[in-house]
Amino acid sequence: MFNKKSTTGYEQPLDKIDRKTIAHGEKTLLSEFLLKKGAQIPVHSHPHEQTGYLVVGKVELTIGTDVFIAEPGDAWCIHGGVDHSAGALEDSVIIEAFAPVREDYLP
């Protein structure tokens, strides 16, 4: 699978948050998240391992009981089943990989 860069295909799952699946295979899925300053992703968990990278902006991440301030170039991994949340302190761009594939994120 090969996908060219595109400005289309975004969904808005929550206020101030746009999400697009960039690519996926049989075992992994890659997504881009665009968060406007003030966006909040509430506490949740899922069975998928989630590995992320902050491209632009500043985000407060809570993973389990740990709180991190992520800045461009920072990365994280959230094991499946662990509660986590996020808040955008600035307009931000995040790239995240999920394994196994999140069926609910398939285009």
pTM recorded for the entire structure: 0.94
Give the residue from 19, 43, 16, 40 showing the smallest Cα distance to 29: 19
Where are the chain's structural domains? 14-105
Q: Which band of pLDDT confidence, cut at 50, 70 and 90, is reported for residue 1?
A: confident
Q: How far is residue 17's CA from residue 83's CA, in Å, rounded to a whole number?
A: 19
Question: Exposed (0-12), middle (13-18) or buried (19+): which is 99, by Cβ within 10 Å?
Answer: middle
pLDDT in tens, 65-102: 999 999 999 999 999 999 999 999 999 999 999 999 99
Assign domain 14-105 to its CATH superfamily.
Answer: Jelly Rolls (2.60.120.10)
